[in-house]
Amino acid sequence: MMMSSSHILPLLTFLVLVFFSSGSRAANNSLNGDFLQCIKKNEYSSIPIPIFTPDDSSFTTIFRSSARNLRFLTPNSTQTPLFIITPTHESHVQSSVVCSQKHGFDLKVRSGGHDVEGLSYVSDTPYVLVDLINFRDITVNLQEKTAWIQAGASLGEVYYQAANKSNNTLGFPAGFCPTVGVAGHISGGGFGALVRKYGLASDQVIDARIVTVDGKIYTRETMGKDLYWAIRGGGANNFGVLLSWKVKLVPVTPVVTVATISRTLEQGATDLVHKWQFVADRLHENVYIGLTFSVANSSRAGGKTVSVQFAFLFLGGSDRLLELMEESFPELGLKRNETTEMKWVESHVYFYARGRPIELLWDRDHATKSFLKIKADYVRAPISKSGLEAIWRRFVGGDSPAMLWTPFGGRMNEISESETPYPHRAGNIYNIMYVGNWMNETESEKQIDWMRRFYNSMARYVSKNPRSAYVNYKDLDLGVNGNNVSEAVRYVQARSWGRKYFKSNFERLVKVKSMVDPGNFFKNKQSIPPVSTWGKQ
């Protein structure tokens, strides 16, 4: 019996789909197999490369282990990698770069997993994830007062080792969160409570080791001054895979003084914050006073108020801190019984998880994961009291918002905008970090929408032309690179966010990218784009 054309067409369509689907799977399996063979061959070393596929029982655990933002760990949020490589030797990174490039896979490299937009460990296209969890060696040279730090080490591990090896006489100026990885933190700038005394973490770099697109390892001596400049604030992942940093360790006093004082609006917080803007960046460089804002319950109309925490770190004893506060900021009323003297390394536990043992700095797994959105601003002129009151009215409308205001001044005023890619130096009173933090995926749309509206409302109070941002607080709302667009269009797209992160340094970063990675192998939604003609200049 002959089949009618109405039956034949669907059957042919089905057979064609099966044929191409099977062919596609076969091609993918062949490509994946070729990649595995390339990795196992490892022309750079005979040391076996640890590699995991989705068929391995530990694959999901490894993938989720240091991914901090739950927005990128939900079933529908992301594509998982084809392979995860956990190098134990520098040659493993070289092979990962060469084989991924040879077989057409994107490469993502994760250090601490704190990339708030997930760009270091997720992708929309097939990719290989290199997780540097095994790259954690820290070698302290007391005579030089330096340290070689592998890219997978955490800030907490660096703080602990610097203090432990030096009998608490040396430290390192970087961020507050001890689980942050050093590779990304330092390569984007990196600041914390020592920023006024010593500047950024990236300002302490004196050498580095990096694998570029050709699979070779370069140091400061061999990479050239342009690439060395670019990786110290411009994001090393734009140019290669950072293996390790050599940094200066800095002197810290045997005793530091810490304190935290909270004030609500009803307790005069508005006047205190207003005054803080005129003194925080002008105080003695040994004094750091950062602000943390949250919403608290109140008996006032609306039932909510703003609570402001003044967090102190002083390199010295409490007597001298009290003298300096009486001279410069008596309105705050800091009292001796509100201060505590401790070792510098202990202050990192105090600010992060008060009451926990110092060994917390070694614990990479204790941090609670949550859904997270972060934005940033820089303030160059004090906000008026009426402006602050307007900010409070909008701020209490959020479910669980937070802001951190980090004062600059001191050493930051002494380094030019072009010394490194990080340009936000003299003239910036403080940095603002906006934090949205929630635990239920169903709240994501509402939380992110509120964050965007609050950020937009702050425009009148912050830097302009451009409205500056901080590359370590990645924000894809600022713009993204398009797929399958011309080189010229890609550059224009990147300039929209690049000028905010790097100001006029963006153009120099593009030139470096064009020289060291002209094929744009190291890329993500906010990576520095190459321009072919710039690389030939």
Q: What is the mean pLDDT of residues 390-414?
A: 98
User: Are the C-beta atoms of 123 and 76 separated by less than 8 Å?
Assistant: no
User: What is the pLDDT, as a whole number, of residue 9?
Assistant: 54
Total residue length of the chain: 537
CA distance 203 to 173: 9
Tokens, residue 334? 């800091």
On the question of pLDDT at 3 being above 60, the answer is no
Neighbours of 15 (CB within 10 A): 10
Strands 371-379 and 256-264: unpaired
* pLDDT, tens digit, 9 for 90 and up, residues 263-281: 999 999 999 999 999 999 9
CATH numeric code, 7-106+113-131: 3.30.43.10
CA distance 193 to 177: 11
Q: What is the mean pLDDT of residues 368-391?
A: 97
User: What is the pLDDT, as a whole number, of residue 43?
Assistant: 85
| Confidence band, pLDDT 50/70/90 cuts, at residue 8 | low
CA distance 314 to 307: 23
On the question of pLDDT at 255 being above 80, the answer is yes
* Start-to-end Cα distance in the chain: 73
Residue type, 514: S
User: What is the pLDDT, as a whole number, of residue 219?
Assistant: 99
Q: 8: helix, coil or strand?
A: helix
* pLDDT, tens digit, 9 for 90 and up, residues 480-510: 999 889 999 999 999 999 999 999 999 999 9
| Confidence band, pLDDT 50/70/90 cuts, at residue 69 | very high
Q: What is the mean pLDDT of residues 276-298?
A: 98
| Confidence band, pLDDT 50/70/90 cuts, at residue 77 | low
User: Are the C-beta atoms of 374 and 116 separated by less than 8 Å?
Assistant: yes
Q: What is the mean pLDDT of residues 243-270?
A: 98
CA distance 255 to 347: 10
| Confidence band, pLDDT 50/70/90 cuts, at residue 301 | confident
Sheet with 217-218, edge to edge strand ranges? 138-141, 146-150, 241-248, 205-211, 217-218
DSSP calls for 373-415: EEEEEEE-SPPPHHHHHHHHHHHTTSSSEEEEEEE--GGGGGS
Instruction: Give Rg (Cα) of the chain.
Output: 25
Sheet with 51-52, edge to edge strand ranges? 51-52, 83-85, 127-131, 106-110
Report the predicted TM-score, pTM, of the whole model to 2 decimal places.
Answer: 0.93
What is the SS3 assignment for 179-233? Answer: CCEHHHHHHCCCCCCCHHHHCCCHHHEEEEEEECCCCCEECHHHHCHHHHHHHCC
Question: Which residues are tagged catalytic?
Answer: 473
| CATH number 3.30.465.10 given to 138-251 | yes
CA distance 383 to 264: 18
User: What is the pLDDT, as a whole number, of residue 10?
Assistant: 55
Give the highest mean pLDDT range of 3-12, 256-265, 298-307: 256-265
Q: What is the mean pLDDT of residues 332-348?
A: 98
CA distance 29 to 166: 52
User: What is the pLDDT, as a whole number, of residue 45?
Assistant: 85
CA distance 37 to 299: 67
Domain boundaries, the chain: 7-106+113-131, 138-251, 256-342+370-461, 480-536
On the question of pLDDT at 378 being above 60, the answer is yes
On the question of pLDDT at 537 being above 70, the answer is no
Tokens, residue 207? 């050498």
Could you tell me what percent of the chain has a pLDDT over 70? Answer: 94
On the question of pLDDT at 25 being above 60, the answer is no
User: Are the C-beta atoms of 201 and 191 separated by less than 8 Å?
Assistant: yes
Peptide bond between residue 466 and the one before it cis (omega within 30 degrees of 0): yes
Q: What is the mean pLDDT of residues 373-389?
A: 99
| Confidence band, pLDDT 50/70/90 cuts, at residue 204 | very high
Tokens, residue 276? 């803080």
At 435, give phi and psi (nearest 5°).
-125, 125
User: What is the pLDDT, as a whole number, of residue 62?
Assistant: 96
Residue type, 459: A
Tokens, residue 87? 């190098």
CA distance 370 to 357: 24
297: left (phi over 0), alpha (psi -120 to 50) or beta: beta
User: Are the C-beta atoms of 39 and 95 separated by less than 8 Å?
Assistant: yes
Q: Which residue has the higher pLDDT, 3 or 412?
A: 412
Residue type, 326: E
Tokens, residue 526? 């906010």
CATH numeric code, 256-342+370-461: 3.40.462.20
| Confidence band, pLDDT 50/70/90 cuts, at residue 15 | very low
Q: What is the mean pLDDT of residues 376-389?
A: 99
The dihedral built from the CA positions of residue 457, 461, 466 and 470, taken in this order, carries a sign that is: negative
Neighbours of 55 (CB within 10 A): 6
CA distance 448 to 34: 42
> Which candidate, 268, 286, 409, 285, places its Cα nearest to that of 332?
268
Name residue, tokens 């507050």: 176
User: What is the pLDDT, as a whole number, of residue 76?
Assistant: 72
* pLDDT, tens digit, 9 for 90 and up, residues 347-364: 999 999 888 899 999 988
Angle in degrees, CA 413, 419, 424, rounded to 5: 50
Q: Which residue has the higher pLDDT, 276 or 21?
A: 276
Tokens, residue 448? 């992110």
Neighbours of 246 (CB within 10 A): 19
User: Are the C-beta atoms of 187 and 233 separated by less than 8 Å?
Assistant: yes
User: What is the pLDDT, as a whole number, of residue 484?
Assistant: 87
